[in-house]
């Protein structure tokens, strides 16, 4: 028998939507060989001029956690500015104008918190340029305009989105170049007395493919004169439509998933388990349980833990979510351990959150057989013409991996393997 008091401590340690920060990063982080942090630290150290980097990965692959590690590694050498677009911008309607302005005001706010006094002339220039997009034809409330008040009003505007607020007045875009110039002047002045700026822009990977493509196709995202790291959606990373815009950035780094199966020497998926990858995933679970003491040491039976790791596909957030769901199922069953049956039920519960369209299956089958993406498209009544694999990547129906010897490869999300097998059974003519 077990109750809420037994399962609650475990449940609280498995929060899939929360990245590791501060003490949790120290206590729970498990090193992964495919981390881009070392590469980014080295690339930044070798750059004299402002460098612009992209970091791609599936949602939930651990990008925010890795970028928090980058922040820790760089704090002694740089003035690190963290820009959280998911919190401060409209989640569903966002353009490059919103991002550029948010970066600018976050830089100024961060410098202020570090005790750097903004020269009066630069402050006035920034006030005037930001006021143009914040108030436009509106009444400002009278009195002399100050940055704190302007930032407050601008924050509310960013939550709505410039396009919605200004579509009946004049466009925001003509003012952006001026704002960027003013922010660049502030960056130059700050870097004369402080370490170089490193701006990390998180959250943009959560945007839909079409929004992200339009946003990152703008050259304005690279016009700020400081080191920048942007997170982008995995579907954008491999889209043929993004190959040209990607040339505006110095490098695109990848955070691939932890492999749960091996690939063959042609970078094709196999059914052979990857012991190294599975050990990393097992350690992620075990490290959290260790904080709870011996009572919880063997909470997950070995075969149950193995299955949860496999069906996570090596996506960190999905692994943590499966562990959390297992706790829910165990509590419902009055169990004091997660056995194989409970793990299977938790997997079925998570499987229900995936939706596969009929036109997806043929591409899922090709990727599973070849390990490669296709460029085949489908005329969707809702979204128009879509590259099917872009969609499969976006919804994590296929996952990306990296082999040291054989390079990049892709496979169907393991939680969907039975769906593919059923489809194959009714489509025997497919190779």
Identify whether the C-beta of residue 57 lies closer than 8 Å to the C-beta of residue 63.
yes
4-15+274-351 sits in which CATH class? mainly alpha
Radius of gyration of the chain (CA): 24
Q: What tokens appear for 213 in the block?
A: 């493509």
In DSSP terms, 379 is beta-bridged to 385
Instruction: Write out the chain's pLDDT in tens, 431 residues.
Output: 468 999 999 999 999 888 888 888 888 889 988 889 999 999 999 998 999 999 999 989 999 999 999 999 999 999 999 998 888 776 666 778 788 888 888 898 898 889 888 888 888 888 777 776 655 544 444 444 444 555 555 555 554 454 444 443 345 666 788 888 988 999 999 999 889 999 999 988 888 888 888 888 888 889 999 999 999 988 889 888 888 889 999 999 999 999 999 999 999 999 999 999 999 999 999 999 999 988 898 999 999 999 999 999 999 999 999 999 999 999 999 999 999 999 999 999 999 999 999 999 999 999 999 999 999 999 888 777 888 999 999 999 999 999 999 999 999 999 999 999 999 999 876 65
Buried-state track 354-390, b at ≥16 Cβ within 10 A, e below 16: eebeeebbbbbbbbbebbebeeeebeeeeeeebbbbb
In this structure, CATH architecture of domain 35-254:
3-Layer(aba) Sandwich (3.40)
CA 24 centroid distance within chain: 19
Identify whether the C-beta of residue 73 lies closer than 8 Å to the C-beta of residue 25.
no
Greatest distance between any 2 Cα atoms in the chain: 76
Q: Which of 400, 293, 317 is nearest to 56 (CA)?
A: 400
Got the DSSP string for 336-375?
SSB-HHHHHHHHHHHHTT----GGGHHHHHHHHHHS----
pTM of this structure = 0.87
Q: Give me the residue spans of the domains in the chain.
A: 4-15+274-351, 35-254, 358-424
**Across 298-383, where does the E strand assignment appear?**
377-380
Q: What tokens appear for 301 in the block?
A: 């039976």
What count of other Cβ atoms lies within 10 Å of the Cβ of residue 30?
A: 17
Q: Which residues have a Cβ under 8 Å from the Cβ of 363 and sit 6 or more positions away?
A: 374, 376, 388, 389, 392
Q: What tokens appear for 73 in the block?
A: 């590694």
Q: What tokens appear for 331 in the block?
A: 């509590």
């Amino acid at each position: 028998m077990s109750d809420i008091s037994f399962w609650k401590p475990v449940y609280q340690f498995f929060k899939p939507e929360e990245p590791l920060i501060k003490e949790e990063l120290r206590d729970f982080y498990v090193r992964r060989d495919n981390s881009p942090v070392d590469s980014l630290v080295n690339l930044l150290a070798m750059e004299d001029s402002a460098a612009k980097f992209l970091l791609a990965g599936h949602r939930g692959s651990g990008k925010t956690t890795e970028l928090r590690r980058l922040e820790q590694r760089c704090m002694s050498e740089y003035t690190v500015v963290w820009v959280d677009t998911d919190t401060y911008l409209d989640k569903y309607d966002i353009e490059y104008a919103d991002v550029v302005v948010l970066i600018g005001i976050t830089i100024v706010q961060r410098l202020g918190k570090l005790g750097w006094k903004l020269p009066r002339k630069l402050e006035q220039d920034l006030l005037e340029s930001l006021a143009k997009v914040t108030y436009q034809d509106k009444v400002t409330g009278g009195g002399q305009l100050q940055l704190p008040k302007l930032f407050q009003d601008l924050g509310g505007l960013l939550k709505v989105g410039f396009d919605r607020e200004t579509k009946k007045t004049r466009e925001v875009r003509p003012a952006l170049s001026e704002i960027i110039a003013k922010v660049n002047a502030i960056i130059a002045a700050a870097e004369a007395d402080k370490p170089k700026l490193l701006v990390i822009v998180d959250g943009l990977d959560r945007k839909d493919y079409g929004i992200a493509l339009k946003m990152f196709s703008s050259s304005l995202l690279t016009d700020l004169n400081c080191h920048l790291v942007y997170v982008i959606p995995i579907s954008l990373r491999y889209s043929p439509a993004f190959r040209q815009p990607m040339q505006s950035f110095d490098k695109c780094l990848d955070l691939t998933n932890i492999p749960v199966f091996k690939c063959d020497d042609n970078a094709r998926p196999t059914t052979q388990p990857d012991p190294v990858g599975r050990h990393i995933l097992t350690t992620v679970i075990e490290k959290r349980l260790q904080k709870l003491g011996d009572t919880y040491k063997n909470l997950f039976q070995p075969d149950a833990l193995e299955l949860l790791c496999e069906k996570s596909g090596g996506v960190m957030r999905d692994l943590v979510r499966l562990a959390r769901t297992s706790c829910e199922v165990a509590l419902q069953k009055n169990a004091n351990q997660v056995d194989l049956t409970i793990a299977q039920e938790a997997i079925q519960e998570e499987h229900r959150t995936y939706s596969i369209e009929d036109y997806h299956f043929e591409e899922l089958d090709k990727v599973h057989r070849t390990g490669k993406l296709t460029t085949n498209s489908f005329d969707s009544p809702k979204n128009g013409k879509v590259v099917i694999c872009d969609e499969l990547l976006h919804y994590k129906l296929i996952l990306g991996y990296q082999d040291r010897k054989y390079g990049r490869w892709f496979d169907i999300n393991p939680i969907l393997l039975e769906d593919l097998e059923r489809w194959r059974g009714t489509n025997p003519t497919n190779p």
